[in-house]
């Protein structure tokens, strides 16, 4: 097929369909099921685990830790739910609709459970942590509830269920980083992988449930991170994404004030960690998520610019363009501070793509404040954005302190306005690439056509181009000749 025959709208739909991996899925926070593969366990007990992941990339990464722990206990993974002995849902609690989705999914298991009464159903992740044992009463189908720091206890929890009891472990930890666990890679592509570098969050943004579901912030031993990156490279992986809720506050052997915790031992901050991972191999691309505007230093930007293989892409959630709203959100930066950080990115890494998160209709948001979010978006012209209506979450500062007083229809209208601005900007951003040449890392066959590859540029844009003699994991030069708001279409030049 001639690449010019491709219907660009269809490509857009296919490359970003719910089945695609969160690596390229713009709806990463709303939760999707990965394009998983079945993996054989180390020592089999002939039992099979079926796992679905929702929410952010951290959850997708955690599911690979869970698969590893259960592999040691004899479970292989399956992508066929009907043959599963154990079904686990790794859940998200970030917005109410994320939880409603999980509840709906659970009810779909009723039939499966009545067909196979020995089937065990477990709820993991942030919704498990938030609702704890209540989930057992609310959802009679659930046998196991395990929070994000309790995954090592899963084999024991399964034993309890086998003995006829329901099992819950939602203890949060100050130390757990699963550093010694080598994740079972569930994603099919074999080219890109997540590496979790820290857990939890200490920021207490007033709208956010994460500090309650994930506990205190803690960083993982840099040696184990670099070791994991080496191991992935040796296995053929060519891109790693370093994950944390606020990667810029990664610190090893350092207090929050920047003092050494243990004298005589080296300390590592995020910029240094990134350099260590980039040095694993120049052919290993490095990405990271998420940066926090208050903590993203020029050090980080300079390290990005110094290493060719650290991708030119930053996800820098702004949330609102108005300083008063930002204050109510407890984001601890102002509009001006944010814009100065954008200016620093553009000065230090001119080719850098920037994406963001925006919340519309936060408590007390006036029309003028909303207009400031729009004007900030117009000013920055983000390459991409994830946009949400504010959803009040139990126990958060906002729930206790402010009224969720923006009417639903106003939230919706404001969100639509924001989405319209962003759609135009995403298209402009993609159109700018037409006629230019990019280095693309090939990830997989395009969902649209067997004859096309899909891969990404350093700036995180998805590119589709006709196959020649390449294979996944290869770097190729592709010249762009067309685009949609979500996908670039090109042809190989070298």
Report the interface residues with ligand F3S, using CB under 6 A: 29, 55-56, 58-59, 92-94, 125-126, 209-210, 213-214
DSSP line for 225-294: HHHHHHHHHHTT--EEEEE-TTGGG-EESB-TTS-BSSTTS--EEHHHHHHHHHTT-TTSEEEEE---TT
Cβ proximity to ligand F3S: between 68 and 91 the closer is 91
Q: Say how far apart CA 29 and CA 45 lie, in whole Å.
A: 34
What residues line the site for ligand SAH (CB under 6 A)? Answer: 29, 94-95, 207-208, 210, 245-246, 290, 292, 317, 319, 357, 359, 388, 390-391, 393
Contacts of residue 7, Cβ cutoff 8 Å, sequence gap at least 6:
none
Cβ proximity to ligand SF4: between 185 and 331 the closer is 331
Q: Say how far apart CA 440 and CA 445 lie, in whole Å.
A: 13
Cβ proximity to ligand F3S: between 78 and 290 the closer is 290
**Taking CB under 6 A as the criterion, which residues in 231-250 touch ligand SF4?**
245-246
| Dihedral sign computed on CA atoms, order 375, 380, 381, 383 | negative
Residue 302 CB, shortest distance to ligand SAH, in Å, is 22
**CB distance 236 to 189 below 8 Å:** no
C-alpha distances in angstroms, 316 versus 31, 92, 229? Answer: 20, 21, 24
Contacts of residue 295, Cβ cutoff 8 Å, sequence gap at least 6:
246, 248, 249
Cβ proximity to ligand F3S: between 48 and 393 the closer is 393
Q: Which two tokens stand for residue 217?
A: 């912030």
Determine the Cα angle at 415 with ends 413 and 418, to 5°. 115
The number of angstroms, rounded, from the C-alpha of 444 to the middle of its chain's C-alpha atoms is 19
Cβ proximity to ligand SAH: between 323 and 445 the closer is 323
Q: Say how far apart CA 328 and CA 316 lie, in whole Å.
A: 19
**Taking CB under 6 A as the criterion, which residues in 265-304 touch ligand SF4?**
292
Cβ proximity to ligand F3S: between 93 and 277 the closer is 93
CA atoms within 13 A on the CB side of 175: 1
Does residue number 183 form part of the binding site for ligand SF4 (CB under 6 A)?
Answer: no
Residue 209 CB, shortest distance to ligand F3S, in Å, is 6
Does residue number 203 form part of the binding site for ligand SF4 (CB under 6 A)?
Answer: yes
C-alpha distances in angstroms, 280 versus 223, 237, 241, 276? Answer: 12, 12, 14, 7
Residue 385 CB, shortest distance to ligand F3S, in Å, is 16
Q: Which does 211 bind (CB under 5 to 8 A by kind): ligand F3S, ligand SF4, ligand SAH, none?
A: ligand SF4
Interface segment toward ligand SF4; rule CB under 6 A; list 202-210, 278-286, 421-429, 468-476: 202-210
Residue 79 CB, shortest distance to ligand SAH, in Å, is 27
Residue 319 CB, shortest distance to ligand SAH, in Å, is 6
Burial of 334 (0-12, 13-18, 19+ CB in 10 A): middle
Does residue number 316 form part of the binding site for ligand SF4 (CB under 6 A)?
Answer: no
Beta pairing class for 285-289 and 239-243: parallel
Size of the site for ligand SF4 (CB under 6 A): 10
Cβ proximity to ligand SAH: between 3 and 391 the closer is 391
Q: Which two tokens stand for residue 40?
A: 């054989």
Residue 388 CB, shortest distance to ligand SF4, in Å, is 11
**CB distance 209 to 94 below 8 Å:** yes
Residue 455 CB, shortest distance to ligand SAH, in Å, is 26
Residue 396 CB, shortest distance to ligand SF4, in Å, is 9
Residue 245 CB, shortest distance to ligand SF4, in Å, is 4
Does residue number 186 form part of the binding site for ligand SF4 (CB under 6 A)?
Answer: no
Rule CB under 6 A: which residues touch ligand SF4? 201, 203-205, 208, 210-211, 245-246, 292
């Amino acid at each position: 097929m001639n690449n010019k025959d491709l219907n660009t709208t269809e490509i857009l739909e296919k490359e970003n369909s719910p089945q695609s991996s969160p690596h390229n899925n713009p709806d990463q926070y709303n939760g999707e099921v990965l394009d998983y593969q079945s993996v054989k366990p180390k020592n089999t007990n002939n039992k099979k685990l079926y796992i679905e992941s929702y929410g952010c990339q951290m959850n997708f990464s955690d599911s690979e830790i869970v698969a590893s722990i259960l592999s040691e206990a004899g479970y292989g993974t399956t992508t066929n739910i009907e043959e599963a002995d154990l079904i686990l849902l790794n859940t998200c609690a970030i917005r109410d609709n994320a939880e409603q989705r999980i509840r709906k999914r659970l009810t779909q298991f009723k039939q499966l459970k009545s067909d196979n009464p020995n089937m065990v159903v477990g709820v993991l992740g942030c919704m498990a942590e938030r609702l704890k044992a209540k989930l057992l009463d609310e959802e009679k189908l659930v046998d196991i509830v395990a929070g994000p720091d309790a995954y090592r206890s899963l084999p024991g929890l399964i034993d309890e269920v086998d003995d006829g009891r329901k099992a819950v472990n939602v203890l949060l930890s100050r130390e757990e980083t699963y550093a010694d666990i080598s994740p079972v890679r569930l994603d099919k592509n074999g080219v890109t992988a997540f590496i979790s570098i820290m857990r939890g969050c200490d920021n207490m943004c007033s709208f956010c449930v994460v500090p309650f579901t994930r506990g205190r912030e803690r960083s993982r031993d840099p040696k184990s991170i670099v070791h994991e990156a080496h191991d992935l490279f040796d296995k053929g992986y060519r891109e790693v994404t370093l994950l944390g809720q606020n990667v810029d506050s990664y610190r090893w052997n350092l207090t929050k004030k920047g003092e050494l915790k243990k004298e005589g031992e080296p300390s590592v901050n995020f910029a240094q960690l990134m350099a260590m991972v980039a040095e694993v191999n120049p052919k290993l691309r490095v990405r990271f998520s998420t940066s926090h505007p208050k903590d993203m230093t020029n050090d980080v930007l300079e390290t990005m610019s110094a290493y060719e293989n650290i991708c030119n892409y930053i996800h820098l959630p702004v949330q609102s363009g108005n300083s008063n709203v930002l204050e109510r959100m407890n984001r601890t930066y102002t509009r001006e501070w944010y814009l100065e950080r954008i200016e620093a990115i553009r000065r230090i890494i001119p080719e850098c793509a920037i994406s963001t998160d925006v919340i519309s209709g936060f408590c007390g948001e006036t029309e003028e404040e909303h207009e400031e979010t729009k004007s900030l978006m117009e000013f920055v012209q983000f390459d991409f954005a994830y946009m949400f209506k504010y959803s009040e979450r139990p126990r958060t500062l906002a729930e206790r302190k402010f009224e969720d007083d923006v009417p639903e229809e106003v939230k919706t209208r404001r969100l639509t306005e924001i989405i319209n601005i962003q759609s135009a900007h995403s298209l402009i951003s993609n159109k700018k690439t037409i006629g230019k040449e990019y280095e693309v890392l090939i990830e997989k066959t395009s969902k649209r056509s067997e004859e096309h590859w899909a891969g990404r540029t350093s700036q995180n844009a998805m590119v589709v181009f006709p196959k020649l003699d390449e294979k996944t994991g290869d770097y190729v030069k592709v010249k762009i000749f067309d685009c949609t708001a979500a996908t670039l279409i090109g042809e190989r030049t070298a």
